[in-house]
Amino acid sequence: MSAPQGTYQQSYRESIENPGGFWLDAAEGVEWSRKPTRALDDSERPTYRWFPDGTMNTCFNTLDRHVRDGRGDHIALIHDSAMTGEVRRYTYSQLLDEVARFAGVLTEQGVSAGDRVVVYMPMIPEAAIAMLACARIGAVHSVVFGGFAAKELAARIDDAQPVVLVTASGGLEPGRTVEYLPIVRSALDLASTPPHTVVVKARKEIPGSAADYGTDGGAWFDWDELAADAPSVGPVTVGATDPLYVLYTSGTTGKPKGVVRDNGGHAVALTWSMKNIYDIGPDDVWWTASDVGWVVGHSYIVYGPLFVGATTVMYEGKPVGTPDAGAFWRVIAQHRVAALFTAPTAIRAIRKVDPGAKELEKHDISTLRTLFAAGERLDPDTYEWASRTLSVPVVDHWWQTETGWAICANLRGLEPMPIKAGSPTVPVPGYRVEVVDPSGHPVAADTEGNIVIGLPMPPGTLTGLWRDESRFFASYLATFDGYYLTGDSGYLDEDGYLFVLGRSDDVINVAGHRLSTGSIEAVVASHPAVAECAVVGIHDEVKGQRPSGYVVLESGVSITPAVLREELVSMVREQIGAVATFRDVTVVDALPKTRSGKILRKTMRQIVDNEDYTVPSTIEDATVLNRLEERLRRL
């Protein structure tokens, strides 16, 4: 099974050998105020800029151009809230009107091109409207995941130094309501550089309003009141290299890193990706089951689908529990979704509750062409279950907050490729992906090493870290000369397919043998009783480290811990070898995760090794961590 030798190989080769020509051709998919005459500015290597002499407006490319071209009555956004039971649909004309008026709100509050606006919102249409309104006037939005604690919000406020903060009265989750305004108030008290204005979208389901919190003299305003009288504002022309947004990602030092995305390269890359990676075009219904607070939500809830005139679904709910494990199938059927993009953890959650997919029988999902997965490794067992259950291609792809779009993918629009379970397939055009040893030398096929990307990276990737050039260089460019360090380990097989095994610090050393916890997880996850699992390296006085497994069982499964342990130890021994010394298996009711679905392996390791740890700000449910700690402390 080898990678195709036709269109993909031609495109990839051109993107590496002639990146300027390749990306200038791709730039034809964007409407420019001044079309760029050159693609790449390499005058300040190792940092690069794309389309340096081009000017444009991102919001114009998502909305105005489609309305101008006669597609104003086509559906741009469907908001489906499983929490309220309501569905709202916006045509391109209606969404443009909302965005233009909120751009007027921001302008009247003193926001101008280059100013920052923090958006702290739940999954409601106003979150996308606020983002697009910022893009419309050249302001730089920084979206903070709704529900982040006050300390985390304050840290991002101090770094971005916004002039306005846009929020809502709160968010809805199964079994609880999260009131945002007390969090915002506390964050402003903690911040050294609070914004001068707060705009609040009141939700009827959640108490609290701007009037309740503006009584101390602060400038708190109601969204609807301001928007009712605001003028519609047109798009402001900005440079292609001007920043579109800052999105904060976790840093190893604890201080979040503000990833900077530009306007021009971002528009070119996402427009190209919608057609060539996802095979999505005008009027296709596209659903990214993520959150606007994450990079996936930025790229593929808000910007990507609107660039190409598709319909984007914004979902407020969970894969299970709103109301059942058929929630995703209901959304696909009701809105005739062509492609779903979600995290593997969502599929595992559905499978755990409904392993026989009985809920799927209640819904007609015949419109679904493809399921895309990213955010964490799609283990082969989950891939097999989803493929068998849905009878559509299940396509893993791999990328990062920093890249903003896929590094490796199976390009369904350019040239569909054979799928290998456990691999996100091949490098996307523009990404020169290599695997190197600790000295920076390329390793042989099927040999694990550090995954790096040759410079320059393609358009749409990070242009730096906000107000922190030295950290940008130290974090990503300093380790291997001429390469961006992904921080992931893996290998390229003989066909050029990449296998990502996990973060480089998830590689453990067992008696001098380097082993990937990701490869052990793949074996453990393939057991029919296991719904999901995590393997972490823990301290061993003799071997230095040893792998320890934590498993969540499928619903309705009956197996004793002793039998499960015996079978898993045997499987790991057979498929990886005795060198793994895998013998610790603990059954838990849930695994601690971030809100984007990543398992908190480092925190788990710290608990097992009795180390001090800090509860990550990104945790989905802190009670899971508390229960896990109680369970492990008893062992």
- State how far the Cα of 39 lies from the Cα of 21, in Å rounded to an integer: 7
Q: What is the pLDDT of residue 579?
A: 66
Q: Running DSSP on this structure, what letter comes out for residue 393?
A: -
Residue 332 located in a structural domain: no
Q: Assign residue 434 the CATH number of its domain.
A: 3.40.50.12780
Q: What is the pLDDT of residue 403?
A: 98
Reported as type and span, the H/E element at residue 489 is strand 483-492
519 and 486 inside one domain: no
Residue 66 located in a structural domain: yes
Q: Strand pairing partners for 485? A: 452
Q: What is the pLDDT of residue 634?
A: 64
Residue 381 located in a structural domain: no
> What are φ and ψ of residue 429, in 5° steps?
-45, 135
| Pair type for strands 464-465 and 257-262 | antiparallel
Q: What is the pLDDT of residue 612?
A: 82
Specify the pTM: 0.85
Q: Strand pairing partners for 143? A: 119
The 10 Å CB-count burial string (b at 16+, else e) for 169-188 is bbbbbeeeeeebbebbbebb
Tell me the average confidence (pLDDT) per consecutive run of 10 residues in the chain, 635 residues long. Answer: 65 96 98 98 94 98 98 98 97 98 98 98 98 98 88 92 98 91 94 96 94 77 97 98 93 74 98 98 96 95 98 96 96 98 91 95 98 88 95 97 97 96 96 95 94 98 96 94 94 96 69 67 91 87 80 91 93 77 90 82 84 80 86 70
526 and 468 inside one domain: no
276 and 224 inside one domain: yes
Residue 127 located in a structural domain: yes
432 and 519 inside one domain: no
Residue pair 98/104 in contact (Cβ under 8 Å)? The answer is: no
- State how far the Cα of 42 lies from the Cα of 369, in Å rounded to an integer: 40
User: How many domains does the structure of the chain reveal?
Assistant: 2
The Cα angle at residue 86 between residues 85 and 88, in degrees rounded to 5: 155
Residue 27 located in a structural domain: yes
Q: What is the pLDDT of residue 625?
A: 87
Q: Which of 550, 635, 542, 540 is nearest to 590 (CA)?
A: 550
197 and 124 inside one domain: yes
433 and 536 inside one domain: no
124 and 37 inside one domain: yes
Residue 449 located in a structural domain: yes
Q: Assign residue 612 the CATH number of its domain.
A: 3.30.300.30
Residue pair 448/516 in contact (Cβ under 8 Å)? The answer is: yes
201 and 237 inside one domain: yes
Positions of E strands within 368-444: 370-373, 394-396, 408-409, 426-427, 432-436
Of 459, 490, 521, the residue that ends a domain is 490
Q: What is the pLDDT of residue 173?
A: 87
Type of residue at 516: S
Residue 126 located in a structural domain: yes
535 and 419 inside one domain: no
Q: Give the residue numbers spanning the domain of 28.
A: 7-317+397-490
The 10 Å CB-count burial string (b at 16+, else e) for 191-201 is beebbebbbbb
Q: What is the pLDDT of residue 618?
A: 74
Residue pair 260/140 in contact (Cβ under 8 Å)? The answer is: no
98 and 128 inside one domain: yes
| Pair type for strands 408-409 and 394-396 | unpaired
